[in-house]
Structure 1
């Protein structure tokens, strides 16, 4: 952080450093993508930085304006935007530092040696698939065909053949197919309470229509919630309002059910059988976005010793970046350097998934693509996940 403070204090605009007075926000996503592209394609070594909340008048007078103190995430979701729109993958992180009692945001873009970086899909009429920009001094310039070819030529001079790479599920030999159990999602805490409250609302409605006492409602409440939860004479409308709030009320409990208690912790193995190491490798996965397939975007927070304070179980920064785009779910992870001839795990923290029983007896294709600075092109392939019925102990609970 001292390094970032020093940059915010003393840096001036140039090829490596860009300053911006205001947050990008949802209205300026095109400019954000263009700026990231131009930084990534800049002809230099090492990290690059975009500082938010600082302006330079006429290029010399520095003014610290600051950004909203509530903003600590670099909204909009910058990692998802970069993942969905730019290829090859770019390592980018957002930091917040304080100078002159004002908060300044810093986008830190990792060392980009896999040029050229280009738009992988259209964003708008002004930023189309295949577009590339390069920062030269203080300006973002659109990259022409000749410059793009030069970048490709530089990359292929040290390229590793993509057919030297094998990716699959761990085992004595790398597997291309994995069989996993499914889970009865009706056991989700929110769905269990939804069913109980719906039944209680039905009893209240029947009592109201028949003019009977609340005896039946009391008995139903005790059967559903037990004697530990005192009975409250709630109206049908009140119960329906509770139902509307169930998802929010049980969000943490549902996340724990899905991604801790019933999670499949998915790991992949990468074996590079070439002569030298792969440099700055990234792995990208794509799976169908099925309603019964749940993939954790972040890991759940759990109570410590039953208390009210919560803590992060694992370091979220090491968990794969997960994004949902239309009918696809994407996951991206920076694997780093991959030595030759040694199987390595793709994920420092495995991908946490939970599969509902609606997929039991079916199978799903997971596509992957591995990028690296010294790969001529991405190494692509597909794996198969087969879903079996829930475990016997879950069946016995019904």
Structure 2
């Protein structure tokens, strides 16, 4: 997906999170602590793909989101920001600055990429920030890194991998309201990792259609779910995920439980230390059967009588 299309989707439908932040104004040309903190936190986020700080967009709780734009005289060459970050943060952070026209206004986008050398921190004292200052983006806020965050940084170098083995979400257990997704969970670190929950997001582009809670691996366990994965080991099998008749409507299944659409699957798991792990595929398929389809059939019946 090209950068302009990606940003258009985020501005229209994105939510501030580990990889997205909106700012109404540009950072000053020579860089400030706000720029340093925001890029530092994003770089330390557990999200592995590109992260974005979008400038010139106001995200107001009461008025909603609207484009303010960046004036021509406010535009900054990316080298100014890069030099400021390079002088004050280690190791080096790879980011770029894009200018994109939306609704006859210009917005700026800082795209932060390839942040696979965590932790990032200040290399010297910067104003009131001490050498070694380290913050992390969690949800929509920046917070000081804790011991568990540093554990996560170093474990991630050894890697915990989620691999979605099959692109089909199979909602075939209509009696218990469960769908299945075939995955491999690989703990390539020196420490045991205990997964205690998670969710699968089913999206059409960037629009969230449905959300399914993790209830087991290989069997249904519900709220008591705990999965310990020893060091240098792998667990493979079907994730058990919640699924109900309303999900069939939201995803757009027909009365046979099928659709010709493909979806983005975003799988998020978290462990006992609240570390989060992500996996995503862009060609996911969903099908269902049995009593899960009763709302779809009822809707079709009602539509036929209109």
Measured against the shorter chain, the TM-score band is 0.3 to 0.5
Normalised by the length of structure 1, the TM-score is 0.37
Q: Which has the larger Rg?
A: 1
Structure with more of its chain in helix, by fraction: 1
Normalised by the length of structure 2, the TM-score is 0.47
